[in-house]
């Protein structure tokens, strides 16, 4: 009996052993160098053939042996380089003490909030002493977004200069509140120079005006001030696919086929005709014979203004893996004309980490509806792992995807020929084992009956 168990176990293990030919498609993977750990980006065609949960992805070496694989983590969002804008600068001055300390500057607030500085002629004639700024007003009334910081350029004294400044904000030039207190620093010694020109503002500082004062023994003459917007966080770079639509079953419906079950993160509807604006509902389904599920809605447009064409931006939808998409226009909000719109899908392919064990070339295989997941945790492949380390690994090159049905047994009739060889082997082994057990039981039964006689 022991020999039978060994034979059955060995045959079962052989049946469960996977090969590249067990999958419907594969592609070559060429390592970037001799490093043990490599990564590669799943190609577009992989999303056409593999399962949504990626459970059927495998990497084999040249000996046909599967190697450990792991899914790389998500890349961090990228912060944009902050944009700088110059701010109109107005010195707030006072006369010399012998003139009585009466200010000669007149500031006019226009209807749109812009400031214009005028200097009184009579006050200027009463004294030949130059006006000394005691503060500066910054006009930010034309800005549509809040500022994160101010960048100062001033006439710094030779050598070392440290100027403590205080920045206040106001919307009406009457009531002020502090938004920053720091020191501007300029230190120069020989060929070395240290400078600190930037003043960070309080979060969400969206005032129309700023007032800068300082405490220093000498005068403080600003040349210019620039406002710095907060750098926005943007998701990691994505790939973009734009597909043509066709009319759906109902009026205002348009259906799209992405050609693969892509992990879409953002979508945009692009009307075919200019000066079109409409409210769209966006739905997905996968497989094609299932119900539609709404994932987003919004107003999308394509307009001509001032000689330039402007289009609506993409709508974030999280992550939806689907091949079929549908948009439905609401006729009560604008229109899209007679031509179907286009659908722009933004997606990011998964990255696979693999151990380059054994000889190359390696092959990534996919396309098996009954395969079990073979993933391991990426941290188990990398000693002293820190988040994002896998995204720094060498990037292997992926060749063209070679498709084709999995290996079948051609000499068997009917539907048996469609069963994979490893499954046939398993079933044949089990049937043979049961037959042998039945035969041995029958033989033992006969021996017991003969002994009883």
Residue written as token pair 């073979």: 374
pTM tops 0.85: no
Other CB atoms within 10 Å distance of the CB of residue 397: 12
User: CA 275, CA 301: separation in Å to the nearest integer?
Assistant: 7
pLDDT digits 0-9 by tens, 248-288: 888 888 999 999 999 999 999 999 888 888 889 999 998 88
pLDDT over threshold 60, residue 8: no
Q: Who has greater pLDDT, 378 or 15?
A: 378
* CA 275 to centroid of chain Cα atoms: 30
**Contact predicate 352/29, CB 8 Å:** no
The answer to which of 109-123, 158-172, 262-276 has the lowest mean pLDDT is: 109-123
Arithmetic mean of pLDDT, 344-362 = 94
Rg (CA), the chain: 36
pLDDT band at 98 (very low <50, low <70, confident <90, very high): very low
Q: Residue 95: its pLDDT value, please?
A: 36
Q: Residue 97: its pLDDT value, please?
A: 43
Q: Residue 14: its pLDDT value, please?
A: 40
Q: What residues does 256 pair with on adjacent strands?
A: 325
Q: Residue 107: its pLDDT value, please?
A: 55
- Comparing C-alpha atoms, which of 70, 62, 78, 77 is closest to residue 40? 70
pLDDT digits 0-9 by tens, 219-250: 788 889 999 887 776 777 889 999 999 988 88
pLDDT band at 122 (very low <50, low <70, confident <90, very high): very low
Arithmetic mean of pLDDT, 4-9 = 44
The answer to which of 102-116, 190-204, 372-386 has the lowest mean pLDDT is: 102-116
- Comparing C-alpha atoms, which of 197, 80, 209, 213 is closest to residue 147? 209
Q: Residue 345: its pLDDT value, please?
A: 95
Q: Residue 100: its pLDDT value, please?
A: 41
- Comparing C-alpha atoms, which of 274, 269, 277 is closest to residue 245? 269
Q: Who has greater pLDDT, 125 or 91?
A: 91
User: CA 122, CA 129: separation in Å to the nearest integer?
Assistant: 13
The answer to which of 89-103, 133-147, 348-362, 410-424 has the lowest mean pLDDT is: 410-424
Q: Who has greater pLDDT, 7 or 154?
A: 154
Give the chain's length.
Answer: 453
The answer to which of 268-282, 395-409, 424-438 has the lowest mean pLDDT is: 424-438
Q: Who has greater pLDDT, 226 or 434?
A: 226
Q: Residue 115: its pLDDT value, please?
A: 63
């Amino acid at each position: 009996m022991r020999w039978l168990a060994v034979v059955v176990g060995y045959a079962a293990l052989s049946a469960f052993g996977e090969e590249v030919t067990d999958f419907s498609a594969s592609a070559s993977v060429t390592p970037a160098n001799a490093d043990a750990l490599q990564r590669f980006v799943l190609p577009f065609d992989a999303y056409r053939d593999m399962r949504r949960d990626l459970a059927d992805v495998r990497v084999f070496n040249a000996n046909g042996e599967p190697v450990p694989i792991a899914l790389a983590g998500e890349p961090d969002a990228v912060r944009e380089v902050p944009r700088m804008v110059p701010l109109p600068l107005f010195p707030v001055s006072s006369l010399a003490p012998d003139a009585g300390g009466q200010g000669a500057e007149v500031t006019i607030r226009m209807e749109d909030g812009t400031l214009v500085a005028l200097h009184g002629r009579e006050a200027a004639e009463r004294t030949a002493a130059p006006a000394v700024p005691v503060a500066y007003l910054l006009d930010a009334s034309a800005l549509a977004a809040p500022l994160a910081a101010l960048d100062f350029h001033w006439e710094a004294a030779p050598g070392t200069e440290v100027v403590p400044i205080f920045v206040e904000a106001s919307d009406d030039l009457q009531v002020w509140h502090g938004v920053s207190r720091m020191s501007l620093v300029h230190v120069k010694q020989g060929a070395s120079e240290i400078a600190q020109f930037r003043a960070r503002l309080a979060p969400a500082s969206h005032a129309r005006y700023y007032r800068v004062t300082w405490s220093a023994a000498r005068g403080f003459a600003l040349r210019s001030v620039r406002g710095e917007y907060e750098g926005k966080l943007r998701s990691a770079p994505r790939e973009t696919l734009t597909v043509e639509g066709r009319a759906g079953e109902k009026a205002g419906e348009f259906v799209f086929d992405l050609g693969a079950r892509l992990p879409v993160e953002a979508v945009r509807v692009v009307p075919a005709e200019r000066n079109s604006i409409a409210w769209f509902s966006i739905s997905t389904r996968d497989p094609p014979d299932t119900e539609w599920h709404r994932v987003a809605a919004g107003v999308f447009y394509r307009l001509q203004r001032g000689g330039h064409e402007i289009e609506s931006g993409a709508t974030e939808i999280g992550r939806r893996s689907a091949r079929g998409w549908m948009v439905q226009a609401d006729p009560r909000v604008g229109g899209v004309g007679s031509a179907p719109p286009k659908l722009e899908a933004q997606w990011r392919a998964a990255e696979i980490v693999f151990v380059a064990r054994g000889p190359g070339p390696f092959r990534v295989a996919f396309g098996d509806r009954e395969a079990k997941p073979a993933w391991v945790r990426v941290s188990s492949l990398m000693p002293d792992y820190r988040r994002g380390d896998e995204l720094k690994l060498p990037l292997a090159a992926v060749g063209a995807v070679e498709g084709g049905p999995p290996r079948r047994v051609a000499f068997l009739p009917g539907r048996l020929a469609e069963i994979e060889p490893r499954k046939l082997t398993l079933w044949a082994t089990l049937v043979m084992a049961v037959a042998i057990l039945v035969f041995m039981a029958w033989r033992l039964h006969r021996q017991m009956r003969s002994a009883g006689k």
